[in-house]
Structure 1
Amino acid sequence: MDGIKIHGYVISPDPGVQVKGIVQIAHGMAETSERYERFAAFLAGLGYHVYIHDHRGHGKTAENLDNVGYLADKDGFMWLVKDMHHLTVIIRKKYPSLPLFLLGHSMGSFASQRYAMEYGKELSGLILMGSNGNQGIMLKAGRLIAAREAGKTGRRTKSEKMNNLLFGGFNKLFSPNRTDFDWLSRDEEEVDKYIKDPYCGTVFTSGFYHDFIIGLMVIEKKKNRKKVPKDLPVLIISGDRDPVGRCGKGVKNLYQIYKKTGVNDITLKLYPEARHELLNELNREQVTDDIASWIKDHTK
């Protein structure tokens, strides 16, 4: 790898609980792995080892707030995907035969889409949460703006322009707004926790946005879409008020993309009125039960 030390943790079933499999989680942008502790404990109670790490440029891996939002000097998005696979390699050395499921949320879901193209044969199932399908010309425009920003101010400079371009319109769906992050969840307590965490909700660097958008463009290429194993089970879940997935339209597009490329076991579930962070939503118990049921059905 490139020398970055990645911080992660594992939550395992209690002694005496039958181990059924492993769930690896890829968290979203501008958050941390610690926000998944409740969900991880739930899965561990059902008999699953849960592995999750802070992505580069996030949480404890970033080491300090100055480094939050910067992935790498080059190819940051692909390094993020490689980090995920490196964790898989570590898991497989310890548990070579247990079923392994990858769950990606938001930015982590896009990284998981890319992961499935390169390493999908190593998975028993893929869960994409808070994701989106093809965005086409919007990405080309965003890449040009991000490249201009990086060239003008440097890759490590926080980019308010790109932040506003990508996320500025999300909260408008929920006006009048209580906070800048109402689009995350209807649960005000969970939104307030996010806002109070200094490692959450920060403006990221122009280098991040440039690499991330290029990563999305790579994902959208048909030749890469076809690399996803046809026998890889895929679960797509989203709130039908999630602006990241265009309130259901984008995730329906993603579902159709997988269908057209020949993936033969794919499920889409939209939750009425739910917003972006399903695991922190008012209906999170229903969501966690649905995920657990799907994993159980695909655990061989």
Structure 2
Amino acid sequence: MTDPRTPAPGAVVVGYDGSDFSMQALDWAMDEAELRRAPLTITHAWRWPYGRATEEARLHLRKAAEHVLYHGVDCARSTSTLTDVRADLHEGAAAERLVELSDGAQLVVVGSRGLDALARSVVGSVAGYTATHSHAPVIIVRGPGPIPAPVDPGPLVLGLGASTADAVVDFAFTEAALRQLRLVAVHASYPQPMAWGVAMAPLPDPEAALAAERDRMRERLAPWRERHPGVPVEYRSVTVSAGDALEAAGAEAVLLVVGAGRSWGRGRLGTVARAMTEHAPCPVAVVPDRAGRPPG
């Protein structure tokens, strides 16, 4: 018999604190666990914020934290088909616990903000820290409207660049296949500035350059298209900044998938990933840039 208090390996992990943002995250996490046929671990962290405290005061706070956590667990058990839902009550920092649980998890889901985030914050400190340090992909549930998917869903958008890791592409195709979504791969680049001179080379044809880039994207994604033949794929090459391109594409998306960036593992996200966690108009998946190989 499984212990409902012990995180299951390969679980979908979700942070829950009773806020509206965490309720959206819980909805998304339940959907992910059902689609992946995975266990669901719901975690809630608490700590005494006022320095020293009597044991009775700490016990009262712990009881309140248990009430919050088991409300989330009861919601998951009563509104989903999941049979393995586990509660994880942690005394300490929520973000650190989520990162700890990410080691061995399939996926971590968090709300864009929680009860302890400043009102002026665009993305909460818990979400930002978790995305920066997690060992597993992290979905930050952002944006208005029903979560996780509307009746007429848009596409899944993949930010694709020359340094995008295979793990990021693999996650995007897997998620698109699970949710039966079309995938839009977006590659953005600024045109290189050219200095005027006597021996100046002919200006390149922008349309030809974009067409060549789309061909390179097709070649890069070919192994995953073979593995997921039911996923329709659209290629977009644009000459704007990656942030602007992905923010625009995200306006119609169910989910935006980006790599954590070259700075992942060194205590910070890459520029594009950080911008998307703060400004994307839809939920964002930040995938650690682990080394990987194309399927097949």
Query: Rg: which structure is higher?
Result: 2
Q: One fold, TM greater than 0.5?
A: no
Per the shorter chain, which TM-score range? under 0.3
- Normalised by the length of structure 2, the TM-score is 0.27
